[in-house]
């Protein structure tokens, strides 16, 4: 295979050559520019475009970087005070919409929301806390759904299926009342391994495998060992 065609793009006034028609977040990352993401992760086929944490300016218009592929002469603004603040504000919005008590959370240290908040130097939320009420669903065989922490990224509803290819999680309701539900029938048949996959897929501590939450001790967790804010 021939290597993909390289095209010029501009990021904050600097020119870069990147492969054509690849995901913009990956393209920027290959140039050492880390775009914050929450619903997107490296290697996913289709983006979800739900969280908007990856907002950058493309040709003068704000867009979610993870939803775009590189095109010739793309003009990107990334590291401006306004854009940095926009991205941070979305993380802050998620903190006030949900109820995130990191010190008691099974996912603390493995949580992408927490890691991005730290990387974006969020010290508090500018928005008033909503103190919304969410039901925790303990009724699964393997899985606990801790809705207080759900960021509605849709990873679980769009990307996760059981071994038979059936959906286990879905979105019900609309707007601020949208919530994830577990499909009891398909959840029953999950192996422990599959359930763990769901927990790992969820960027926050909303999907938990019963009895596994604190298996890795604090201090040895993913973002504790490799924090996002340390520039490589």
Give φ, ψ of 180 to 5 degrees: -80, 140
What are the residues facing 62 on neighbouring strands? 57
Q: Which residues between 164 and 193 bind ligand SF4 (CB under 6 A)?
A: 169, 180
How big is the site for ligand SF4, counted in residues (CB under 6 A)?
A: 14
Q: Is position 94 an interface residue for other proteins (rule: CB under 8 A)?
A: yes
15 three-state secondary structure: strand
Q: Which two tokens stand for residue 66?
A: 């993870």
Least distance (Å) from ligand SF4 to the CB of residue 205?
Answer: 8
Least distance (Å) from ligand FES to the CB of residue 80?
Answer: 18
Q: Which residues between 212 and 231 bind other proteins (CB under 8 A)?
A: none
Q: Which residue among 6, 167, 188, 192 contacts other proteins (CB under 8 A)?
A: 167
Q: Are strands 6-11 and 75-77 parallel, antiparallel or unpaired?
A: parallel
Smallest Cα–Cα separation from 89: which of 48, 130, 49, 120? 120
Q: Which residues between 42 and 81 bind other proteins (CB under 8 A)?
A: 47, 49-53, 55, 62, 64, 67-68
Q: Which residue among 7, 144, 151, 209 contacts ligand SF4 (CB under 6 A)?
A: 151
Q: Which residues between 25 and 64 bind ligand FES (CB under 6 A)?
A: 37-40, 49-54, 64
Beta strands in 80-212 (DSSP E): 136-137, 143-146, 169-172, 179-182, 207-209
d(CA 209, CA 193) in angstroms, rounded, equals 10
Q: Which residues bind ligand SF4 (CB under 6 A)?
A: 150-156, 169, 180, 202-204, 206-207
């Amino acid at each position: 295979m021939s290597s993909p065609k390289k095209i010029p793009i501009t990021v904050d006034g600097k020119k870069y050559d990147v492969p054509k028609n690849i995901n913009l977040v990956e393209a920027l990352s290959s140039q050492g520019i880390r775009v914050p993401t929450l619903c997107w992760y490296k290697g996913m086929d289709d983006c979800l475009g739900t969280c908007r944490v990856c907002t950058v300016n493309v040709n003068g218009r704000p867009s979610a970087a993870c939803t775009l592929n590189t095109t010739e002469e793309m003009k990107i603004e990334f590291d401006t005070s306004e854009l940095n603040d926009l991205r941070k504000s979305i993380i802050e919005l998620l903190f006030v919409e949900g109820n995130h008590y990191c010190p008691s959370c099974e996912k603390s240290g493995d949580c992408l929301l927490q890691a991005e908040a730290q990387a974006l130097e969020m010290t508090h939320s500018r928005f008033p806390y909503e103190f919304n009420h969410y039901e925790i669903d303990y009724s699964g065989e393997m899985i606990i759904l801790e809705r207080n922490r759900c960021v509605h990224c849709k990873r679980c509803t769009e990307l996760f299926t059981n071994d038979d290819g059936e959906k286990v999680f879905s979105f019900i309701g609309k707007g601020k009342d949208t919530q994830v539900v577990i499909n009891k029938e398909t959840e029953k048949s999950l192996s422990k391994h599959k359930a763990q996959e769901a927990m790992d897929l969820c960027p926050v501590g909303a999907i938990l495998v019963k009895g596994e939450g604190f298996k890795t001790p604090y201090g040895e967790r993913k973002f504790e060992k490799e924090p996002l804010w340390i520039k490589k």
